[in-house]
């Protein structure tokens, strides 16, 4: 498969790799991506002291100057600072809710060269690999609600996110999902996470936004957060 062909299968999401074409999108309900078995709202207001925002994001550069198209696709610049798209959405949620934040990172640094990162993502998926993480959440028991954010890579969760889900015990917690993409919205990831975290309550009202809509993300995230209450 050529590199150009393979890019058509890779959805860039906010901190990610380049994906297939642009899609407009903003908020989606669980009815679009999941079995609909989870509630669309949390059963009580968010308590910032009991809420954690977690996210996986891989901006392909930290320099705002002379970016390539792939680097621009994977990032959003805020006050001169380069953030991954998913990272930026997580930051908006943090600012709106006052929640704590945990970044999901691999023990081994990921390549920032686009083609190399793209190839690695596919290799890990085909091997069903679980990359080792740099750290786990040390105090997960202190939180009732956990936001989990991720880009879509090759129509699926990045494999480090599978590691993250499997190496933590989310039993009894409210799980709220958000993602960034380059054309495939959230695919079937809400269903996959709902099945994997069967002892938790995965809110079906997940949020997703295209890399092309990042300038509107603050308003869209705020509207979505209001809908969760």
Each of the 229 residues of the chain gets a pLDDT tens digit; together they read: 433 334 333 433 333 343 332 222 222 223 233 345 799 999 889 999 999 999 999 998 888 998 888 888 788 888 889 899 999 999 999 999 999 999 999 999 999 999 999 999 999 999 999 999 999 999 999 999 999 999 999 999 999 999 999 999 999 999 999 999 887 789 899 999 999 999 999 999 999 999 888 999 999 999 999 999 8
Return the pLDDT at 177: 98
* Ramachandran area for residue 64 (φ above 0: left; ψ -120 to 50: alpha; else beta): alpha
Return the pLDDT at 129: 98
Structural domain range at position 108: 3-228
From the list 167, 165, 166, 130, the residue with the least C-alpha distance to 146 is: 165
Return the pLDDT at 212: 87
How far is 78 from 16, CA to CA, in rounded Å?
17
CATH number at residue 134: 3.40.50.360
Please give the full DSSP string across 78-95, using - where no structure is assigned: ETTEEEEHHHHHHHHHHH
From the list 15, 105, 110, 95, the residue with the least C-alpha distance to 53 is: 95
> Which residue has tokens 């949020």?
207
Q: Is the pTM of this model over 0.75?
A: yes
Query: In total, how many domains does the chain have?
Result: 1
């Amino acid at each position: 498969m050529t590199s150009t062909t393979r890019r058509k299968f890779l959805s860039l999401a906010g901190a990610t790799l380049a994906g297939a074409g642009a899609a407009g999108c903003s908020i989606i309900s669980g009815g679009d991506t999941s079995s609909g078995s989870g509630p669309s709202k949390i059963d009580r207001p968010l308590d910032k002291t009991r809420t954690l925002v977690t996210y996986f994001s891989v901006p392909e550069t930290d320099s705002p100057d002379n970016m390539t198209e792939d680097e621009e696709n994977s990032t959003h610049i805020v006050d001169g600072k380069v953030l991954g798209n998913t990272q930026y959405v997580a930051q908006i949620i943090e600012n709106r809710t006052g929640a704590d934040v945990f970044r999901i990172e691999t023990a081994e640094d990921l390549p920032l060269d686009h083609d190399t990162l793209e190839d690695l993502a596919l290799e890990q998926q085909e091997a069903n690999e679980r990359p080792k993480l740099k750290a786990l959440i040390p105090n997960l028991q202190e939180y009732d609600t956990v936001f989990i954010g991720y880009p879509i890579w090759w129509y699926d969760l990045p494999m480090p996110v599978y590691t993250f889900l499997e190496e933590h015990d989310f039993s009894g917690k409210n799980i709220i999902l958000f993602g960034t993409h380059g054309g495939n919205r959230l695919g079937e990831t809400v269903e996959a996470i709902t099945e994997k975290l069967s002892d938790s309550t995965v809110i079906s009202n997940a949020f997703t936004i295209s890399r092309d809509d990042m300038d509107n993300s603050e308003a869209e995230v705020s509207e979505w957060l209001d809908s969760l209450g």
